[in-house]
Amino acid sequence: MSVDPKLLEILRCPVTKQTVRLLSKDKLTVLNAAIAGGDVSYIDGSKIEAPLDEALITDNGRTVYRVDDGIPVMLEDMGIGTEQLTDF
């Protein structure tokens, strides 16, 4: 299930208040490869154990938020900082 486009229009990063957009499939593949390698953590420091089916990224490209069953998980501690990813 994908995020409702009307919801995307109003969603904002809880930290920076920037708009968010769907993460491209190419970037999602890179992120999931890093997750599979055990190299990715949430902002709170906990390791991400499962790959993401869908995600949102802030307009500045610095934070990714997972989407579970079409529902964005927009919690500050559950953001994924992209600085920990190479080739992103």
Evaluate if residue 79 carries a pLDDT over 70.
yes
Evaluate if residue 1 carries a pLDDT over 70.
no
SS (H, E, C) the chain: CCCCHHHHHHCECCCCCCEEEECCHHHHHHHHHHHHCCCCECCCCCECCCCCCEEEEECCCCEEEEEECCEECCCHHHCEEHHHCCCC
Q: Any idea where the domains of the chain sit in the sequence?
A: 5-84
Question: Has this prediction a pTM greater than 0.75?
Answer: yes
What pLDDT shows up at residue 4?
87
What pLDDT shows up at residue 19?
96
**12-58 pLDDT, tens per residue?**
999 999 999 999 999 999 999 999 999 899 999 999 999 999 999 99
